[in-house]
Amino acid sequence: MRHAVAGRKFSRSGSARKALLASLARSLFKHEQIKTTLPKAKDLRSVAEKLITTAKLGTVAARRELMAALQDQELATKLVSDIAVRSKDRKGGYTRVLKAGFRAGDNAPMAIIALTDKAAKAASTEEAPKAAKKAKPAAKKEAKAPAAAAEE
């Protein structure tokens, strides 16, 4: 029986499963958002959160652990210097999983897994253009109002 055994097998051997999750983690940290199947995203969440927690330590030993897990020095550096710094005030919950419908070929449930700080950064950059667009119509109305008063 497999009572209280965490994780899914994905019809793979242990080494293939470990390689799959490491590859997904590399893609997640490189692009900060990826689309994959829902079960893979849910399992990736725990792997990615543990790596970010390790990166927050910032020690040489932590960097070596990240290198062993990710097999990519640039991503390990990005994780420590960028992603961990953005997440320094968080005590967990570095990723979010959003359901994204079903895949056309086999109707598999799809999901988008993204870093939460990336989403907050993107939202703040989207709000700035919206605020600028709202300010422009107000200026046009003010310009028309004095002209209308002058005509009367």
The predicted-structure confidence for 102-150, as pLDDT tens digits, reads as follows 999 999 999 999 999 875 565 566 665 565 556 555 555 555 555 555 5
- What's the pTM value of the predicted model, to 2 decimals? 0.76
Based on the structure, what is the number of domains in the chain? 1
Mean pLDDT of all residues in 13-27: 96
Domain span at 92: 14-115
CATH number, domain with residue 103: 3.90.1030.10
What is the rounded distance in angstroms from the CA atom of residue 30 to the CA atom of residue 48?
12
144 φ, ψ (degrees, to nearest 5): -75, -35
DSSP reduced 3-state for 75: helix
